Structure 1
Amino acid sequence: MAAKQPFKLPPLFSNKYFIGTVAFIIWLCFLDRYNLIAQFELSAEKSKMEHQKEFYLSEIEKNTRERQELLSSPEKLEKFAREKYFMKKDNEDLYIIVPEKSSH
């Protein structure tokens, strides 16, 4: 009967540099504070914030144009005040008509 040969690891898996490199990669990918998962989450958050920044910058630009337009013309300022804030002159009445909600 032949004697059983003990299981022998390939030489690559017993190399200390290979083991060190694998341990380092595992550490970077999963155990470190700034691991790959955290990096992907931070990247997604950065992208979301950049889109918010673009939105707010466009809103600022739009509001700046609207403000310039309102300040340049008294007629437009009066129209804006009447439509947005329901302001009226002393000698006039203001009626606000609210449409009914349909039951459909």
Structure 2
Amino acid sequence: MDKSKIKSILIKTFSNKFVISFLIFFFWIFFFDQHSIWERKEYKSKIEALSKEKDYYLYQIKKDKNRIHELKTNRENLEKFAREQYLMKKKDEDIFIIIEKE
């Protein structure tokens, strides 16, 4: 086939109103629609960020459950926790708070 025949076939194909309608529809859906490529990328990045956040919070929940179990089962751990977190003390003790600069 020579170039003129190929050119005439392409012109006939792309001048067809159905092909033009399909191409316009395709580009509209692909780039401008609510479910375009950019929207899908944004949704994917949001899903990944939320998955990481979910994993972090599940880890924190597990860690806190272990800490609560330790506090409920061991009196010494409970006393240590109360002294460190709430600055509780016995009657004859003094508390010194040391703040370290970073």
* TM-score w.r.t. length of structure 1: 0.79
Q: CA RMSD in A?
A: 1.9
Percent identity, please. 37
Deviates more, 1:88-97 or 1:8-17: 8-17
> Deviation of residue 80 (structure 1)?
1.1
Q: Is 2:99 aligned against 1:98?
A: yes
Name the counterpart of 1:46.
Answer: 47
Unaligned runs of 5+ in 1: 1-7
Distance 1:82 1:12 in 2: 82
- Residue 98 of structure 1 aligns with an amino acid whose one-letter code is I
Name the counterpart of 2:57.
Answer: 56
Aligned pair count reads: 94
Distance 1:31 1:95 in 2: 64
- State whether residues 29 and 37 of structure 1, in contact with CA within 8 Å, keep that contact through their aligned partners in structure 2: no
- State whether residues 88 and 94 of structure 1, in contact with CA within 8 Å, keep that contact through their aligned partners in structure 2: yes
Name the counterpart of 1:12.
Answer: 13
> Deviation of residue 92 (structure 1)?
1.5
Deviations 1:3-47 (A, max 9, x none): xxxxx7711211223212211111112221222211111111011
- Residue 61 of structure 1 aligns with an amino acid whose one-letter code is K
Deviates more, 1:36-45 or 1:16-25: 16-25
Name the counterpart of 1:78.
Answer: 79
Name the counterpart of 1:23.
Answer: 24
* TM-score w.r.t. length of structure 2: 0.80
- Residue 96 of structure 2 aligns with an amino acid whose one-letter code is Y
Distance 1:45 1:96 in 2: 42
Deviations 1:29-79 (A, max 9, x none): 222122221111111101110110011001101111111111111110001
Higher helix share: 2
